[in-house]
Amino acid sequence: MKFTIFLLALIIVTTAYAEDISISADVDRREIALDEQLTLTITVSGNISNIPQPTIPDLKGFTAYSSGRSQNISIINGQVSSAVTFTYILVPNNTGDYALGPFSINYKGQNYSAGAIDIKVLPRANRQQLAPPAYTSPQAPEESEGETDRGENGKELFIETYVDKLRAYVNEQITLTFAFYQAVDLFENPSYSPASTTGFWAEDMPPQKKYYKVINGTRYLVTEIKTALFGTSPGEFTIGPARLEASVEDLQRFFSRNPFDDPFSMFKRGKPIILTTEPITVEIMPLPVEFKPNSFKGDVGRFDIFANIDKNEADVNQPVTLKIKIVGKGNIKTITLPDFPEIPDVKLYDSGSSENILKENYIVQGEKLFEKVIIPRKEGIFTIGPIEYTYFDPVLKEYIKKKLNPVTINALKPKDEPVEKEQFSIPGISKEEVELLKSDICYIKTSPSRFISRNAFLYKNKVFLLFSILPLFLLVFLYIYEWHRKRLSTDIGYARSRRAKGAASKRLKEARKIMHKESVKEFYAELYKAVIEYIADKLNIPHPSITKDILEERLKYIGADKEIIEKVKVLFDICDMARFASIRFTKDDMHNSLRDAGLIISGLERVL
């Protein structure tokens, strides 16, 4: 009986102190436009100190970006309870109705989940019908430059793409402009992904153009990036959406955060903003078939043609260089050489071409130079030409034909041509006998010849073998170098990983210089950048999105030592503390932190 009462009391106490965990999910709004973004907040609370990371399912129709986490811990009657809020930025990819979730966590073998959230994504054209976006601009300056009615409902950042024409002929220039409007300081340089231009020959048009514009009372710094597009074939083509990822100061989170949140987490990252533009459909018209000359080879624009030769007289079988220069506005790279008529007893060889491309006023222009080598096979006067060049003018909408005057070359008999020697004869001796006699007469050798061993084969010569193998090693080296160079330009993760240690070493050297100046805040800021950017580059993730939990999870996944992981966490805490309590740190503390940072990078270099 006593045992039964004791067992019931134990069950009651255990139930009273059982772990109580809950999870909830919410968004800042249920309807958004295709060019906007929403904030997903997942809150996990319970009477445990170490709350696990929630499981995020595949968010169909959205691209998700982590915006950090915050934690609130409370102690009531000796009971510890905590609530962790995970924040994500969601960018819609297509219009339609979507369900986000369900979201769940697993703690000690038991699952806790929150229900799905219904989201409706509307086309861009309906954005004026929605509630104002959560991220709006502050009071703008009173300056007025380039006042216009165009605007984006007071957004601090927005982008757009547009073209100077929606209909163009094949190989006619279309200027695509990407414009980035900025009314707030950025946390770091934005990441720009240009629009896809399938079906076009693309030519970058530097430099970037920057200016200020006032839109609906907000003063923006506008950055324009222009690209020249040339349609390669007739039809309708779509210029894909451009994308820009930026990070700005999250003032709303700063003023609304809980006072028990991590006081240093606000300064580790900004709020990510992901912007996309609408696709643009362009019609590429075929060139007119009517009145198209036979000499037309596809050049579109406005051009002039010139020709000259290096000399008008040359010996037979001696080369003469003919240079043909085409100058004007259009796609210089695709300009073709006019056809040459066949000329008897004259050989024509292509000697290559060169280009000089200019982009003044964002119009592709310049010149293309062709070289022909002319070799006359016999003496006489030869006429080359006339040379006919035809192009299509998209402004006049007609074919323009231009002719070059004929070029005359006078081929001369070579002056130093060998003359046949006079024949001679010896009475009583035939020509064959003279030749035989000549072969029998030899010089008297005054010294013996140098004898070479019959076994001294060339392949046994070490110098010969060295020079034979050297090109093979050189070829392997060049192949590896070219593979490395191409991968650096195409694989961002590989490039970041290769350059991570060098960049970290430079920052550590800079931190050492700052340490001698005894500037604590600058020293720990540089030290933090050295370690966090090294890890971000090695893991190929944006460093503003790294939190302690994410960092610990990633380092454990790659097999880093627990000691290294703990050192990283301690160093980050010290760096955060130094920004607000720098007076507590001495030069010895900075020296120890610098040593720990070096050990962390050396330790991670073995596993990353």
Residue 232 has pLDDT above 80, yes or no: yes
Question: Are 483 and 510 within one domain?
Answer: no
* pLDDT attached to residue 17: 44
- Range from 201-210, 231-240, 348-357, 445-454 carrying the lowest mean pLDDT: 445-454
Residue 14 has pLDDT above 70, yes or no: no
- Domain range for 484 is 458-490
Question: Are 198 and 259 within one domain?
Answer: yes
* pLDDT attached to residue 457: 65
* pLDDT attached to residue 326: 94
Question: Are 512 and 538 within one domain?
Answer: yes
* pLDDT attached to residue 328: 95
Tens digit of each residue's pLDDT (9 = 90 or more) over 384-428: 878 889 999 999 999 999 988 888 888 888 876 555 444 545 555
Structure tokens at 607: 């596993």
Question: Are 496 and 595 within one domain?
Answer: yes
b/e per residue, 29-51, with b = 16+ CB within 10 A?
eeebbbbbbbbbebbbbbebeeb
Residue 270 has pLDDT above 70, yes or no: no
* pLDDT attached to residue 50: 67
Tens digit of each residue's pLDDT (9 = 90 or more) over 112-139: 888 888 999 888 754 333 333 333 333 3
The span from the CA of 469 to the CA of 459, in Å, is 12
Residue 299 has pLDDT above 70, yes or no: yes
Q: Is 535 helix (H, G, I), strand (E, B) or coil?
A: helix
* pLDDT attached to residue 133: 36
Helical spans, DSSP H, in 154-306: 251-256
End position of a domain, from candidates 285, 319, 352? 285
Q: State pTM to two decimals.
A: 0.53
The span from the CA of 604 to the CA of 586, in Å, is 27
Question: Are 316 and 345 within one domain?
Answer: yes
Partners of 353 in beta bridges? 370
Question: Are 583 and 477 within one domain?
Answer: no
Q: Which CATH number covers residue 538?
A: 1.20.120
Domain membership of residue 524 (yes or no) is yes
Question: Are 86 and 168 within one domain?
Answer: no
Higher pLDDT, 167 or 424: 167
Residue 69 has pLDDT above 80, yes or no: no
Question: Are 114 and 187 within one domain?
Answer: no
Domain membership of residue 49 (yes or no) is yes
% of the chain at pLDDT higher than 90: 21
Question: Are 280 and 310 within one domain?
Answer: no
Structure tokens at 367: 């010149």
Structure tokens at 429: 């001796």
Distances (CA, A) of 502 to 495, 496, 509, 587: 12, 10, 11, 25
Q: How many CB atoms within 10 Å of residue 5?
A: 9
- Range from 132-141, 191-200, 277-286, 330-339 carrying the lowest mean pLDDT: 132-141
CB under 8 Å to 329, separation ≥6 — which residues?
301, 302, 303, 363, 364, 365
Residue 264 has pLDDT above 80, yes or no: no
* pLDDT attached to residue 438: 46
Q: What DSSP string runs through 554-579?
A: HHHHTT--HHHHHHHHHHHHHHHHHH
Number of domains in the chain: 5
Structure tokens at 255: 């003023």
Question: Are 277 and 163 within one domain?
Answer: yes
Angle between helices 520-539 and 562-580 (to 10 degrees): 140
Domain membership of residue 251 (yes or no) is yes
Confidence of residue 473 (pLDDT cuts 50, 70, 90): confident
Averaged pLDDT for residues 359-373? 92
Task: Decide if 98 contacts 34 (C-beta within 8 A).
Answer: no
Higher pLDDT, 95 or 490: 95
Q: Is 149 helix (H, G, I), strand (E, B) or coil?
A: coil
* Distance from the Cα of residue 513 to its chain's centroid: 33
Task: Tell me the pLDDT of the chain averaged across its residues.
Answer: 78
End position of a domain, from candidates 412, 431, 447? 412
Domain membership of residue 443 (yes or no) is no
Q: What DSSP string runs through 380-448?
A: EEEEE--EEEEEEETTTTEEEEEEEPPEEEEEE--TTPPPPPPP--BTTB-HHHHHHHHHH--PPPSSP
* pLDDT attached to residue 281: 95
CA dihedral 171, 177, 178, 180 (to 10 degrees): 170
Domain membership of residue 16 (yes or no) is no
Residue 601 has pLDDT above 80, yes or no: yes
Higher pLDDT, 489 or 377: 377
Domain membership of residue 478 (yes or no) is yes
Residue 5 has pLDDT above 70, yes or no: no
Q: Which CATH number covers residue 56?
A: 2.60.40
The span from the CA of 491 to the CA of 498, in Å, is 11
Confidence of residue 164 (pLDDT cuts 50, 70, 90): very high
Confidence of residue 364 (pLDDT cuts 50, 70, 90): very high
Angle between helices 587-605 and 562-580 (to 10 degrees): 140
End position of a domain, from candidates 374, 397, 412? 412
Tens digit of each residue's pLDDT (9 = 90 or more) over 27-64: 888 898 877 888 888 888 877 666 777 888 878 888 88
The span from the CA of 105 to the CA of 109, in Å, is 10
Domain membership of residue 169 (yes or no) is yes
Amino acid at 381: I
* Distance from the Cα of residue 357 to its chain's centroid: 23
Domain membership of residue 578 (yes or no) is yes
The span from the CA of 359 to the CA of 204, in Å, is 9
Report DSSP state, residue 265: G
Question: Are 306 and 276 within one domain?
Answer: no
* pLDDT attached to residue 582: 62
Question: Are 256 and 183 within one domain?
Answer: yes
